[in-house]
Amino acid sequence: MPWLGFVPMRSNPIDSTYQMIKEMEVRGAGRIARAAVMALEEYCVSSRFSSTKEFYRNLFAAGEKLKSARPTAVSLPNSVNYVLAAAKRNEARNASLRETIRAIDEACDSFVASSLKATKMIGNYGARRIQDGDVVLTHCNSEAVTAILTAAHEAGKRFEVFATETRPRFQGRITASVLARRGLNVSLIPDSAVRVYMRKVDTVLVGADAIAANGAVINKIGTSQVALVAHETRARFFVAAETYKLSATTMLGELVEIEHRSPYEVVPRAWLKANSRVKVKNPSFDVTPPEYIDLIITERGIYPPQGIVFLMKELYAEPLVGIE
Ligand code: RUB
C-alpha cells in the first residue's frame, strides 16, 4: 500500500485508530474512511486467531468499534461495511481463514485506491466549473475541495480563494496553508466575515460528511449559514463528495446523527469553571437543505441535489449499506 500520511500503530491498530479518529488527529470524511480500512487490514494481517469463528467475532467487533469513533461522517460505516461485506461473502462460503484474510486485504487495498482515485476524478470534473477570474469561497478543510482548486490552478486558471477559519477547530487554516503552498491565491477570513466577502464570491465550494436521499448535505458546522448567504447574493453553491458519503439509510427514513463535541473546544477549562452557569454548545456539523445547493460533484458525475437519490439507489440497492 502507498504511503498515505497515516499508519495505524502496529500494537493495537483498532484501538489506536479509533482514538485518533475520535480525537480528530485523523479527520475529514475521506481520511477517516481510509484510516478505518487500513486499521482493519493491519489488524487482520498482523493478529493471530485460534479459530475462524474467533476471527469473525473479533473482526465484526473491531468494525463496530471503528464505526462508533465519530457518528456523522457516513464514509466511516460505508468503508467499514465494504470490508466486512468481503468477510461475510467468505464466511458464507466457508472459506479458510487464510483465504478470508487475503480477500479482506484485497478489499482494503481496493477501497483505499478507489477513494484516492475518486478524489482525483472529482478534482478534474470540478475544475471545469472554475472560470478564469472567479472568486471561490470554501469552509472547513475538504480533500475533495482542495483537489478541485488544485486541478483548476494546475490547468492554468487564475482565481482567488477565500477560506473561512472554521471555528472552533480552525480547519480553515489547513486549507489556506495547503492551497498557499501549492501556489494558489488564498485569503483566510473569520467565519463571521462571510457576508462581507460574499458579494465578491462567484462560487462556494464545500465538502460533505454525509448526503441524504433528499439531497441535503451534512458538513462542518457553519456550512448552512454560508449557503444562506450565498443564496442571498446568488453565488453558486457546489458540494464535492465521493459517493461513499451517500447515506443510503436515509432512503429508509433514518436521520444522520449530528456529533456534539466537547465544550472545551469552544472555551478554555478555566473560563468555563469561572463561568459555570454558562452552557456551551458545540455541534460539529449542520444540514444544508437541497434548495440552497446547485450541484453535487462526485466521481460518478455531477448531479443536482434532487438527482442524488437515483445515484444512491443505483449504488446501494442490494444490499443497502449499513442495514443488516
Ligand atoms: C471535516 C469536514 C469536511 C468533510 C469533507 O470535518 O466537514 O468538509 O469531512 O472532507 P472534521 P473530505 O474536521 O470535523 O472532520 O472531502 O476531506 O472528505
Residues 162 and 255 in one domain: yes
pTM comes to 0.94
pLDDT digits (tens, 9 = 90+) for 112-168: 999 999 999 999 999 999 999 999 999 999 999 999 999 999 999 999 999 999 999
209 is annotated as an active-site residue? yes
CA of 97 to the centre of ligand 1 (A): 36
CATH code for position 154:
3.40.50.10470
Q: Which of 140, 202, 286, 294 is catalytic?
A: 140
Cβ of 123 below 6 Å from ligand 1: no
Q: Is the CB of 28 under 6 A from ligand 1?
A: yes
Is residue 116 domain-shared with residue 136, that is, in the same domain?
no
With a 6 Å cutoff on the Cβ, whether 222 touches ligand 1 is no
Q: How far, in Å, from the CA of 88 to the mean position of ligand 1? A: 30
How many of the other CB atoms lie within 10 Å of CB of 23?
10
Final residue in a domain of this structure, among 121, 137, 153: 121
Helix axes 52-67, 97-127, angle to 10 degrees: 30
Same structural domain for residues 63 and 191? no
Number of domains in the chain: 2
207 lines ligand 1 (CB under 6 A): yes
Q: Rounded CA gap, 315 and 320, in Å?
A: 9
- Among 29, 99, 39, 93, smallest CA distance to 64 is for 39
Q: For residue range 15-50, list pLDDT tens digits in order.
A: 999 999 999 999 999 999 999 999 999 999 998 888
92 and 142 share one domain: no
